[in-house]
Amino acid sequence: MNKRIKILPENLANKIAAGEVVNRPESVVKELVENAIDAGAQNIDVMIKGAGKTLIQVADDGEGMNEDDAELSIQRHATSKIETIDDLEAIGTFGFRGEALASIAAVSIFELKTERRDQELGTFIKVDDNSVITKEKGSFSKGTSISVKNLFYNVPARRNFLKSNQTELKHIIETFKKISLSHPEVAFKFYNDDDVVFDFPKSTIQERLKLVFAENILDAIIEVKEITDYISLSGFVTKPAYLRRSKGEQYFFLNKRYVQSKIVNHAVFTAFENVLEKGDYPFFVLFMTIDQKKVDVNVHPSKLEVKFDDEKEIYSFVQAVIKKTIGSFDLVPSITFNGTPAEKESLRFQNFTQTDRNDFTDRPFSSQQNNQQRRPSILSEDEVDRLFDDLNREIKSAAPDTQVTTPFDERQTTEVYHESGTMQHTETPFLVLLHNKYILTQIKSGLMIIDSHVAHERILYELAMQSFEANIPFAQHLLFPQKVNLDPADYQLAKELEPYLTNLGFELKFQAKNVLVIVGIPSDVKVEHEVETLLDILHEYRKNEQHNQLEIRDNLAKSYSCKAAIKAGDKLTENELRILVDKLFATSMPYVCPHGRPIVIKIPLEEFDKRFGRT
C-alpha cells in the first residue's frame, strides 16, 4: 500500500466530524435547544417525528441572526461565543466550538429560518441532499427555527446503528427534561408526531420538578441550599424512604449545564452513608455554581464530562452540604392502619409530614430542639457517664425494687380529652419499654416508637467516628486482663486494625502463638463480654469487607456499633431509657441505623382517634 497523503474533501471531512458531535437524534435536540438558550430565548418548541429520524424542529424566540451570521453559522468552527484562547478558560455559554450546525447539516437535509427583532425581513437557508446551499429572504417569526430532516440519510452505516423508535424517543425526552430542569425561567413545549407531550410554562424550580417528575415529588425530597463566595450548591435530594433502585435518577448541573460527575455522585452517595443498602441510589437534582475558570468543560465533544481544578475540595464540599441537609430535617415516617375492621389489618407507611428546616418540635423532651441548640440534659453528668454501664448483678438484686408507674396509677375520675397535635412540653413525656425491645413515648403529633437496639447502634456509630477523628484513645482498664487464643486470620486482622481499635477504646497486647490479651475496653462494652464482643466485631468487619467493600473506619464503626449495642431483650431503667432517647436525637441522623434500618416511626394521634371512634 503506497498511497499518497491528501486533504479530504470538505463534505467528507464534515461527515466524519459529525460523528463526534451527532451520534443520534438526541444529540441534535441537545445542540439545537442549547443554542436557543444561548440566544436568550424565553419560549422554545421542540417538534419530533419518527423519533427524530424523520424530523427534528426546534423553534425559539431568541435574538435571531442577521443574513451574514446565518450563512456563517453552518460553516465549521464558526461561532460568536469565543474569540481568543483566554475565552476557553471561562466558558459561559453552552456552545462554543462552532461545530454543531455544520455537523448536523452534513448528515441531514437542513433548513434554517431566522429573523432579528430589529429587522423587517429574515433569512432562510437550506442545505439539500447534494450539500447545495440555498439562501432566500423572507418574513419569519422573530427568533430562529431549525428543521433537521431525514437524519443520517447520507450515512447509512450510522442510521443502521440507531435503536428502535421507542429507545431513540426515550433518549430525546430525557435530554429535553434535563435542559428544562436547569432553566425553569424558560417555557418549553415538546411535540411528538404533532401531539403535545410536554408543556412547561415559565415557573419556579419546584413547579418545574412537579411537571417533569410527579405532582407529589415535593413530598419525597428535601431542599439543599449552601451559598458561599467560592462555590454554591442548591437543589433537592430524596428523603431516605424514597431511595431508588435506578442509578439514572441523579441530575447534576454545573453552572446550569447538565454534566456527569463521578466525584459529585460519590460524594452524595457517601453523604447518605448507612442509609443506602446495596442497589439503592439517592435521587437528586443539584445545581452547582462555581467560577468558570475553576472548571474545564472542554473535555469531550458531548460536553457531558467536566474536570475540576480541586476535585478533593469539591468532593468534601458536596458531601458536607448533603450531610448537613439530611440532618437538618425531622424525617421520621408515620404509619397508619390500612383496611376496615372487617378486613385484615395491616400497617403501612404514610408520606413524611412536611417539616421546616431545623424544626424538631415533634420529638420527645423538647419544643424547639436541634443539633446546634441542645436543651440542658435532664440528668446529671454522673448519670450520663454511667450510661449502660454493667452494674454488678448482686448490687442490682440487693437494691430495692424501683417503683414503676403504670397507666392505672392515680386514675382519673373524669375523662380527659386531648386536642389533636397538642402537647405540654413542660411536662416530661412517659417512656415505656415494650417487651424489652421498643421504647414508646409521647410526642406532639401522637406516639413515637423507637427500636432500642438500633437507636444505640446509631449513637455508638457516631461516637466511634468521632473517636477516629479526635484520635484521643480512652480505655476502661480491666481489673483482670483477658487472654484469648485467636485463629491466625483473626489474629492478623486484629493486628491490622489495632490503631483503629485503640481509638475506639480497646487496649490490646499481642503475644506469640496468636495469643491476644485484652487490657482495656471502651466504656460501652460490657465487662465479662469483652472477648465475645471483640470476636464479634472482627467477624462482622470481615463480613462487611466481603459484601459491602466499606472504608476501614466506616466498616469498623459499623461493626463495633452493631456488636456493642444493647440487644433486644436487655432491660433498661427509666433513666437509661431517657438517656438513650436524648442521645439518639443528638446524633446527626436519628431516624436510621448504620445499616439502613429504621430507628423511629410515628403513629399520628388522628389514627388513635379514628380507631376509638372519636372522629
C-alpha cell at 481: 486482663
Nearest Cα residue to 592 out of 315, 320, 352: 352
Q: Which helix (H) or strand (E) holds 580?
A: helix 574-584
Asked if residues 181 and 67 have their Cβ atoms less than 8 Å apart, the reply is no
Between CA 550 and CA 559 the distance in angstroms is 11
Average pLDDT over every residue of 548-572: 86
Q: Is residue 401 over pLDDT 80?
A: no
* Burial of residue 350 (number of CB atoms within 10 Å: 0-12, 13-18, 19+): middle
Residues 6+ apart with CB under 8 A from 125: 70, 71, 74, 110, 111, 112, 133, 134, 135
Between CA 120 and CA 241 the distance in angstroms is 57
Helix (H, G, I), strand (E, B) or coil at 347: strand
587 vs 19, residue with greater confidence: 587
Q: Is residue 201 over pLDDT 90?
A: yes
3-state SS track over 9-35: CHHHHHHHHHHHHCCCHHHHHHHHHHH
Among the residue ranges 181-195, 249-263, 527-541, 596-610, the one predicted with the least confidence is: 596-610
How confident is the model at residue 50, as a pLDDT? 95
Average pLDDT over every residue of 351-374: 56
245 vs 220, residue with greater confidence: 220
> 55-60 and 143-149 as β-strands: parallel, antiparallel, unpaired?
antiparallel
Q: Is residue 516 over pLDDT 90?
A: yes
Half-sphere exposure of 503 (CA within 13 A, CB side): 17
Nearest Cα residue to 272 out of 263, 285, 281: 281
pLDDT tier, 246 (very low <50, low <70, confident <90, very high otherwise)? low
| CB neighbourhood size of 488 (10 A) | 9
Q: What is the pLDDT of residues 325-341, one digit of tens each?
A: 887 777 776 776 665 44
pLDDT tier, 135 (very low <50, low <70, confident <90, very high otherwise)? very high
Q: Which helix (H) or strand (E) holds 67?
A: helix 67-73
How confident is the model at residue 387, as a pLDDT? 46
| CB neighbourhood size of 183 (10 A) | 20
Between CA 477 and CA 27 the distance in angstroms is 67
213 vs 328, residue with greater confidence: 213
C-alpha cell at 428: 416530661
Q: Where are the alpha helices (DSSP H) in 565-604?
A: 574-584
Between CA 336 and CA 492 the distance in angstroms is 50
Average pLDDT over every residue of 470-493: 89
Phi, psi angles (nearest 5°) of residue 347: -95, 145
Q: Is residue 179 over pLDDT 50?
A: yes
C-alpha cell at 531: 472477648
Phi, psi angles (nearest 5°) of residue 177: -65, -40
The C-alpha torsion from 81 through 86 and 90 to 93, rounded to 10°, is 10
Nearest Cα residue to 257 out of 305, 315, 319: 305
Q: Is residue 171 over pLDDT 90?
A: yes
pLDDT tier, 132 (very low <50, low <70, confident <90, very high otherwise)? confident
Q: Where are the alpha helices (DSSP H) in 434-567?
A: 452-470, 488-496, 498-504, 530-547, 552-564
Between CA 63 and CA 73 the distance in angstroms is 14
Q: Is residue 573 over pLDDT 70?
A: yes
332 vs 439, residue with greater confidence: 439
Most confident of 3-7, 443-447, 532-536: 532-536
- Crossing angle of helices 452-470 and 552-564, in 10° steps, is 140
76 vs 501, residue with greater confidence: 501
How confident is the model at residue 397, as a pLDDT? 43
Checking phi first, is residue 64 left (phi over 0); if not, alpha (psi -120 to 50) or beta? left
224 vs 298, residue with greater confidence: 224
Distance of CA 310 to the CA centre of its chain: 22
How confident is the model at residue 501, as a pLDDT? 93
Most confident of 19-33, 235-249, 393-407, 415-429: 19-33
C-alpha cell at 387: 450510661
pLDDT tier, 61 (very low <50, low <70, confident <90, very high otherwise)? very high
How confident is the model at residue 275, as a pLDDT? 66
Between CA 316 and CA 377 the distance in angstroms is 33
First to last CA, the chain: 91
Asked if residues 379 and 568 have their Cβ atoms less than 8 Å apart, the reply is no
| CB neighbourhood size of 436 (10 A) | 14
pLDDT tier, 400 (very low <50, low <70, confident <90, very high otherwise)? very low
Asked if residues 216 and 288 have their Cβ atoms less than 8 Å apart, the reply is no
The C-alpha torsion from 69 through 70 and 74 to 76, rounded to 10°, is 0
Q: How far is CA 334 from CA 118, 264, 369, 418, 575, in A?
A: 59, 31, 20, 20, 27
| Domains, in order of start, for the chain | 10-202 (3.30.565.10), 213-327 (3.30.230.10), 328-401+430-615 (3.30.1540.20)
Distance of CA 65 to the CA centre of its chain: 41
What is the widest separation between alpha-carbon atoms in the chain? 110
Distance of CA 329 to the CA centre of its chain: 14
* Burial of residue 280 (number of CB atoms within 10 Å: 0-12, 13-18, 19+): middle
How confident is the model at residue 413, as a pLDDT? 38
Among the residue ranges 43-52, 395-404, 549-558, the one predicted with the least confidence is: 395-404
pLDDT tier, 105 (very low <50, low <70, confident <90, very high otherwise)? confident
Q: Is residue 537 over pLDDT 50?
A: yes
pLDDT tier, 460 (very low <50, low <70, confident <90, very high otherwise)? very high
How confident is the model at residue 428, as a pLDDT? 55
Distance of CA 477 to the CA centre of its chain: 43
Q: Which helix (H) or strand (E) holds 483?
A: strand 476-485
Q: How far is CA 61 from CA 35, 44, 187, 263, in A?
A: 12, 7, 11, 37
